[in-house]
Structure formats: C-alpha cells, structure tokens
Structure 1
Amino acid sequence: MKKNRNNKSRLTCILIGYLFIYMNCGENDLLHTPPCLLKSIQYINEYVGYQQAYIIEYEFQNGIVYYIDSGDGSEHEQFYILNSNCDSLGYLGGAVGNSIINGEDFYLKAKKIRTIWGN
C-alpha cells in the first residue's frame, strides 16, 4: 500500500511539472517537441533564464537541430546546438564567438523552422 502511494505521488509531481511547463509556455509551440527538451525548459525556468531564454528549431546538415539560449545573460554565454535526441552537436558564441558546428557555419547554413519556447 505504501509503495503504491509513493508511485502515485511521483506521478502527480511529474504531471504537475508538465502542467507548469505547459502553462508557462503561453503561445510557444511544444507540439512535436522531443521530450528531452521539456527537461531543458524546466531547468532553464528553475535555475537560469535571467534574461530572455528561448529554444528554436532549425534545419541544419540535413537534420533537425535545436538552438538553446538559456538566457544566463553573461558576455561569454554559449548557445547549445542539440539534435532530436538532445545529443550535443556543439556550442555557438562564447568568449571566442564560435559559429562553426561540424565544420559548417551555423548562422550561414541553418534554416529556422519555428520557435518552440521562450520565457
């Protein structure tokens, strides 16, 4: 009985977390978004996101990638590029202003599809 109650409590917490994310997304487009990005959104909402944060979906190198600006606001902020499995393809920006992912200039080659989320 106690084990069943713990499972129900965990499920309730997870559902409340997803509801919180959904309610905070307003006009954002979370439909057809990889589940692993929902965890990134929750983390940004809770721990980073001091400035405007957002996630944008792009077509790049014959695939779908996600550009994540966590909104930390530092002058050396890095922007993460993830594939649909949330595997890192590299970082943009930073102290050196990197724009190269897998040998190609992301800003010149990537085609924006949609903004998935922003705070």
Structure 2
Amino acid sequence: MKKIFYCLIGSAFAFTACEKVDIAKDSPKCIKQKAVDLKEAPCESDVNIKEYFFQGKLVYVLNPGDCIADGNAEVIDGNCNSLGYLGGFGGNTKINDEDFSKAEYKRTIWEK
C-alpha cells in the first residue's frame, strides 16, 4: 500500500513540477519566474526579457510581444518591484520621470 501511495505522490510531483525556461544562469530568481509567466503570453514573436543599466542599477524590461495593439512593457528591478511601463496607448518613454532612452542595454536574458 505504501508503494502505491509513494508512486501516486511521485506522479503528482512529475505533473506539477515547475516549468523550466532557458534563461541566463545569473538572473535573479524572481526574473526567472517572470520568464515562466511570459512563456504563456499569447504572442509568439518579440516576447523577451532584456536587461538594462538605468538610474544606477540593473533593470529588466518584460516585453509580452508585438501581437497586442498598444501593448506595453513593464520595467522592473532585480527584486521584481515594478518601476513603470513603456509603450502602450500613449507611447510612454519615461520611468521615474527619466527618459528610458538613457538606459544602457546590457543583454537579452530570455526570449520565447
């Protein structure tokens, strides 16, 4: 009876295990979870997470893809605190009252 129970429990873990994504190894843990979330985005193209140096720290732009009209990209820090959104209906380009064009692109850490 115990063997059957353990087999059932093992099977449950196999089917509910965390989904893996191919992301840069040194990425913050919460950013990895954001990649898992973005993997489920309805868009198939231009879905990615890019790393920038902005306002004295590393920030991440979560781009949900280009299939959504007037979509926006969230900008977060390494602890997944939201700093603001870029794009959208109004075409926002500022984060914390500073134009994001001043950000220095570092790398793309994940893409769908």
Same fold (TM over 0.5): yes
Q: In structure 2, list runs of 5 or more residues that go unmatched.
A: none
Q: CA deviation at 1:13?
A: 3.6
Partner of 2:107: 114
Structure 1: gaps spanning 5 or more residues: 23-28
User: What is the one-letter code of the residue matched to 2:47?
Assistant: A
Contact 1:56-1:114 within 8 A present in 2 as well: yes
Counterpart for residue 30 of structure 2? 36
Equivalent residues of 1:81, 1:91 under 8 A apart: yes
Report what 2:64 is aligned to: 70
SS in 1 for 2:17: helix
Task: Give the TM-score normalised by structure 2.
Answer: 0.81
The structure having more radius of gyration, on CA atoms, is 2
Decide whether aligned partners of structure 1 residues 11 and 33 sit closer, same or farther in structure 2, where only a CA change above 3 A counts.
Answer: farther
CA RMSD, 1 decimal? 2.4
Partner of 2:47: 53
Q: Residues 76-91 of structure 1: matches in 2 within 5 Å?
A: 76-91=70-85
* Percent of residue pairs bearing the same amino acid type: 31
Secondary structure, in 3 states, of the residue corresponding to 2:62?
A: strand
TM-score, normalised by the number of residues in structure 1: 0.77
Secondary structure in 2 matching 1:69:
strand
Check conservation: 1:56, 1:117, Cα contact below 8 A.
yes
